[in-house]
A and B are shown apart, each in its own frame.
Chain A
Amino acid sequence: MLKDIQVQNEKETRGGFGEGIYEIGKENPDVVVLTADLAGSMKLGPFIKDFPERYVQCGIAEANMIGIAAGLTIGGKIPYTTTFANFSTGRVYDQIRQSVAYSGKNVKICASHAGLTLGEDGATHQILEDIGLMRMLPGMTVIVPCDFNQTKAATKAIAAYEGPVYLRFGRPKWPNFTKEDGSDFVIGKAQVLNEGTDISIFACGHLVWKAIEAGRILEEKGYSVELINIHTIKPLDEEAIVKSITKTGCAVTCEEHNVLGGLGDSVAHVASRHFPVPIEYVGTNDTFGESGKPSELLTKYGLDTPDIVAAAENALARKKK
C-alpha cells in the first residue's frame, strides 16, 4: 500500500547530485566535472576541493562547455557538464546535437533547477521543454530521478553507462523516500512503487511524490492503484508500461514538464502501439511558467496532488464507458 512508503527526510535532489559526483569522482579517476559559473548551485564544493585538477570552470559559456566535454571524451575522460536545465539544453541544443549526440560522445549532461519548482526566478529559467528536446535526439538517454537518494544513485550509475546522458533534477527540498543505497535504481528499468489493478499512474521527478500522495487518496476512495516511477524516459521500459496498462486499462502520467513531448507522450506512444487505453496527462499545458513559490506554482499550473486525483478519476470514468 502507498501509505507504507516512508519519508526519510526532505532534501534537494541537486544535493544528491553533489554527493553522487563526489563519490563517483573518488571511485573513477576519469570523471571530470565542468560548470558554467554555477559550481555553488550545483553543489560541487567537495569535488572541487578534493579533485581540483578534474574540475573545469568554463565561465558563463555553455556552448563552449558542451564542446569541451565532447573533446574530453577523446582521451577517455567521462565529462559531467553542470548548469541549470534551461542552459543545459535549450541554449545549447545544436552543440549537443552535433558534437555530443551525433558524434556519439560519452558526455553526461547534468541539469538542476528544472521545471516550475525552480520558483521565484520565473519562466526564463523554468524550462518545461527539456525532456522533449533531449528525448528527440537519437542515442540520448534521458533520466529524471525522483528524490535525493535516486539522484545520487543515478549520478553514480551513469559513469559506467556508455553514451550521452541527460540527467534532470531540481532545486527545492523534497521528500526523500527511495533506498539510501540506491539499490532500487537501475537505468532503463521502471520502478514499481505500488502494485494495483484499477489504474496505472506513471510519474517522474518531483511529481513521483505528488503521485504517491494522490495514490493514497485514491486508495482511501477504494481504488487499487499501480504507481510506477519512470525515472528513465529513454530508453523507456515499454514492457513495464504495457504490462501495467494491460492489467489496469487506464492511466495517468505526471511530470513537471509540458504535456507535449515529455513522459506523457512517451507513455501514450507505447500504449497507442501495443494496448490503447484512456490516458490523462498531468503537466503544464503548453505554457510558460512564472515567479512564485514552488508549491504555489504546482497548484496554479495543475500539477498538484488534487490535480492527479482528478485526472485519475477522469481516466477511471473514461475506462467504464
Chain B
Amino acid sequence: MAEVQELKQIASQVRRDIVRMVHAVQSGHPGGSLGCTDFLTALYFNIMEHNPKFSMNGVNEDLFFLSNGHISPVFYSVLAHSGYFDKKELSTFRRLNSRLQGHPTTHEHLPGVRVASGSLGQGMSVAIGAALAKKLNKDSHVVYSLHGDGELDEGQNWEAIMFAGHHKVDNLISTIDHNGQQIDGPTDVVMKLGDLRVKFESFGWQVLEMDGNDMDDTIRGLNEARSYVGKGKPIAIIMKTVMGKGVDFMEGHHEWHGIAPSDEQLAKALAQLPETLGDY
C-alpha cells in the first residue's frame, strides 16, 4: 500500500501519461482526467483490495466502475501502472485496433474494465448491481464508482440514487467529481446542481466531502467512507476537484474538457510534471 509521498509521485506520472496520450492522438479528454488523477491513484494504490490478474466477476476484491467514461486516459494510466497491462499499450490510446478505446469498453477485453461507459448516467446502476451481487455472494468487499457532476443531469442517476437508498446498498461508495464544469460551461450556467449533499441525504445516503486534489484529504475521505460500509446507507463522496489540475494553463477551464494540447502546450505541461515512474 503506497503512502502519501509515493502516491503523489505516481500521480505526477499519471498526469504526464494523460497529456502525452491525448497529445499523441490529438484527441481525448484531459481536463477531467487530470482533475481525478489523485482520486484514482489513491483508490488503486492505497484504498482498494484488487487483483491485477483480472477476472471479470471480481469475487473477493473491491471493484471500481468509471461512469464518466470520457476520462479514460486517467483510468488507463492507473490500470497500467497497477499492473493490469503493460504501460507500453498506452501509446495505442484511441488508435485503430487498440484495446484502449476512446471510452472504456469490455469488447476488446482490456483487463480492469468491467463495463462499457461513455454514454453518461449508466455507471451507478451497474455499480449497484455489482454491489447486490456481492451481497448475494456473501462477499464483504466494496464497490466504488465515479461520476462527473455534469453527468448528474442524466435522470438515470436519480433512479439509481433512489434505489440505493431504498434498498440500503451500504457496500457502495459513489464519488461525484464536483469540478463545477461541463462541456458547455460552468454547471451553474448549464444546469444548476443545487445542494448535492442535501439531495443525496434526502434519498437516504451517507454523505461526506473531500478535496480530491489534496492527497492527504483524499486518503482521509476514502477511509472515512469505508468506515460507513455496512451501516445501512449507500455512501456518497462529494469530491471537490479542479478540472485540468496539475497543468496551470488548463486548470479551471471547461474548454479543456475535450481538446488536445499542441506540441508547445505539451512541452509546457510536461515541464510542470516530473517523470517519476518512467514514461510509456
Contacts from A to B (Cβ < 8 Å): 32, 53-54, 56, 58-59, 61, 63-77, 79, 94-95, 97-99, 102-105
Interface of A is mostly: helix
Q: How many A-B residue pairs have CB under 8 A?
A: 121
A77 touches B156 (CB 8 A): no
> Which of B63, B121, B126 contacts A70 (CB under 8 A)?
B126
- Cα of A2 to Cα of B63 in the assembled complex, Å: 56
Residue B139 at the chain A interface, CB threshold 8 Å: yes
B107 touches A75 (CB 8 A): no
26 contacts between A and B (CB under 8 A): A56-B132, A58-B159, A59-B159, A59-B162, A64-B125, A64-B156, A68-B128, A68-B132, A70-B115, A70-B126, A71-B65, A71-B128, A71-B129, A71-B130, A72-B129, A72-B133, A73-B133, A74-B133, A76-B57, A76-B137, A79-B129, A95-B122, A97-B119, A98-B118, A98-B119, A102-B116
18 further interface pairs, Cβ-Cβ under 8 Å (given A61-B163, A71-B65, A102-B107): A54-B136, A58-B163, A64-B128, A64-B160, A68-B128, A68-B163, A71-B115, A71-B128, A71-B133, A73-B133, A75-B130, A76-B133, A77-B136, A79-B129, A98-B118, A99-B122, A103-B115, A104-B107
Range of interface residues on B (Cβ < 8 Å)? 35 or more
Interface residues of B in 152-172 (CB under 8 A from A): 155-156, 159-160, 162-163, 166-167
Q: Least Cβ distance of A164 to chain B in Å?
A: 12
Q: Choose among A53, A71, A104, A105 the residue with the greatest number of B CB atoms under 10 Å from its CB.
A: A71
A99 touches B57 (CB 8 A): no
A64 touches B59 (CB 8 A): no
Residue B240 at the chain A interface, CB threshold 8 Å: no
> Which of B116, B118, B126 contacts A71 (CB under 8 A)?
B126
Give chain A residues whose Cβ lies under 8 Å from the Cβ of B155. Answer: 63
Q: Least Cβ distance of B100 to chain A in Å?
A: 16
Give chain A residues whose Cβ lies under 8 Å from the Cβ of B163. Answer: 58-59, 61, 64, 68
- Cα of A95 to Cα of B131 in the assembled complex, Å: 18
Give chain A residues whose Cβ lies under 8 Å from the Cβ of B125. Answer: 63-68, 70-71, 95, 99
Q: Choose among B58, B129, B139, B163 the residue with the greatest number of A CB atoms under 10 Å from its CB.
A: B129
Q: Least Cβ distance of B45 to chain A in Å?
A: 22
B132 touches A71 (CB 8 A): yes
Q: Least Cβ distance of B140 to chain A in Å?
A: 13
Residue B99 at the chain A interface, CB threshold 8 Å: no
Give chain B residues whose Cβ lies under 8 Å from the Cβ of A98. Answer: 116-119, 122
Q: Least Cβ distance of B213 to chain A in Å?
A: 29
B132 touches A72 (CB 8 A): yes
Residue B233 at the chain A interface, CB threshold 8 Å: no
- Cα of A125 to Cα of B63 in the assembled complex, Å: 38
Residue B127 at the chain A interface, CB threshold 8 Å: yes
Interface residues of B in 37-70 (CB under 8 A from A): 56-59, 63, 65
B159 touches A53 (CB 8 A): no
Give chain A residues whose Cβ lies under 8 Å from the Cβ of B128. Answer: 64, 67-68, 71
> Which of B122, B124, B139, B159 contacts A75 (CB under 8 A)?
B139
Fill in one digit per residue for B67-101: 1 if any A CB lies within 8 Å of its CB, else 0: 00000000000000000000000000000000000
Q: Choose among A54, A61, A65 the residue with the greatest number of B CB atoms under 10 Å from its CB.
A: A61
Residue B106 at the chain A interface, CB threshold 8 Å: yes
